Amino acid sequence: MPQTEHQTLDLNGIQLSLYSAGPTQGPIVWLLHGFPECWYSWRHQISALSDAGYRVFAPEMRGYGASSAPQDSAQYDLITLCGDIQAAMDLLGHTQVAMIGHDWGAPIAWHLALLEPERVNVVGALSVPFGGRPKKPAIGMIRELYQDRFHYMLYFQKPGLAEAEMAEDIPRTMRVMMHGMSGTAGGSTLVQDKPADARWLDDRIDPGVPPQWCSPEAFQVYVETFERSGFHGPVNWYRNFERNWERPEPLAGKQIEQPALFIIGDADPVGELESYTIKKMPSVVPRVEQHVIANCGHWIQCEKPEAINQLLLEFLNREFAPKVTP
């Protein structure tokens, strides 16, 4: 990976840790990570994009690493998280950007495209599609379907439980999560057939080593990220389904008009869970192009970096770079 620069921005009531790379005058690309990841999960894309002449910004999202991690779960709703990136763009003077997100970073990218149609020229999402504002908060539907069975999102609603379990053995947590949603996984960590009062990871087998796509050096960056910040911030993202439904109400019915890219792995369990949304997406993102990566799970930009880099560069070179005035 190329040499990166680091800065800490005071904005939106927090400190945001931000890494950047690439030529300072290059077209600007933001890379927003998901859960349980960190800015370094974009290492392959930072290299490819900066080598191609793009200026890349990869934050440690609110709650992660060296960024602030407020205890109050209400400080992690979608509009607040978007506000972190909007405030960063304000401070840095960004007027035209490409916004790319993975996992939880994807809904942030999608909503920034709606909130900032002048500044967000193109948008890309890995693994998580966009279907517009649902008729009601998703957590309510999950509660109805999983009254007597375990669902990790319901488990995450219980204050203190999930973050404490994951922090008991951070390397084990990361190995189980990485393997459990990889393309070679024997079973997803998302949907599990067990009682509603069970813990999340107790019955998952620890392979003892990270997946092949994650080097020991990269794995250590993940571990150190959560040793520093813990898991209460990341889990708080999941405690905002009602607020995430209420606060974006002014955006309801709006389409994402910008050129858009969506990529998902064929073995990503999110693909099955969100199959309806993926089919619906062109009705709310009319300029979306979609790709499915073979033999690939949820950690798509790390599992298949060459394929992702090629698709990102083709998309950006075609839809974004020509719009930027030298």
Q: Which residues are catalytic?
A: 103, 298
The three-state (H, E, C) secondary structure of the chain, written as one string: CCCCEEEEEEECCEEEEEEEECCCCCCEEEEECCCCCCHHHHHHHHHHHHHCCCEEEEEECCCCCCCCCCCCHHHHCHHHHHHHHHHHHHHHCCCCEEEEEECCHHHHHHHHHHHCCCCEEEEEEECCCCCCCCCCCHHHHHHHHCCCECCHHHHHCCCCHHHHHHHHCHHHHHHHHHHHCCCCCCCCCCCCCCECCCCCCCCCCCCCCCCCCCCHHHHHHHHHHHHHHCCHHHHHHHHCHHHHHHCCHHHCCCCCCCCEEEEEECCCHHHHHCHHHHHHHHHHCCCEEEEEECCCCCCHHHHCHHHHHHHHHHHHHHHCHHHCCC
